[in-house]
Amino acid sequence: MLQKKEVLSLEGKVAVITGAASGIGLGTAQLLSAYGAKVAMLDVNEKGEEEAQKIREAGRTALFFKCDVTSIHEIKKTVHEIIGNFKKIDILFNNAGVTVRKTVVDLEESEWDFVMDVGLKGTYLMSKFVIPIMAEAGGGSIINTGSGWGMKGGDKAAVYCAMKGGIVNLTRAMAIDHGVQNIRVNSVNPGDTNTSMLKEEGRQLGCEEMAFLKDSAKGRPLERLGLPEDIANAVLFLASDLSSWITGSALVVDGGGIA
Residue 91: C-alpha distances to residues 17, 39, 41, 141 (Å): 8, 9, 12, 5
What would the mean pLDDT of 250-259 be, rounded to a whole number? 96
* 219: three-class secondary structure by DSSP: coil
Q: Answer whether residue 217 is part of any domain.
A: no
User: Which residue range(s) make up the domain with 245?
Assistant: 14-193+226-253
| 4 CB-near residues (< 8 Å, 6+ apart) | none
Query: Residue 199 falls within a domain, yes or no?
Result: no
183 is a domain residue: yes
Whether 70 maps to a domain, the answer reads yes
- The domain total for the chain is 1
One-letter amino acid identity for 157? A
Instruction: Please report whether residue 204 resides in a domain.
Output: no
Let me know if residue 4 belongs to a domain.
no
The whole-number average pLDDT for the span 51-71 is: 98
As a residue count, the chain comes to: 259
8 A C-beta contact, residue 246 and residue 187: no
Yes or no: say if 253 and 231 are a contact pair by the CB < 8 Å rule. yes
Q: The pTM is what?
A: 0.96
Q: Residue 202 domain-assigned?
A: no
With respect to residue 114, please indicate whether it lies within any of the assigned structural domains.
yes
pLDDT tens profile 189-248: 999 999 999 999 999 999 999 999 999 998 899 999 999 999 999 999 999 999 999 999
Instruction: For residue 35, indicate whether it is catalytic.
Output: no
Q: Which of 160, 174, 188, 235 is catalytic?
A: 160
Give alpha helix (H) positions in the chain.
23-34, 47-57, 72-86, 109-116, 122-137, 158-178, 196-204, 209-217, 228-239
CATH assignment at residue 129: 3.40.50.720
Residues 173, 185 contacting (CB under 8 angstroms): no
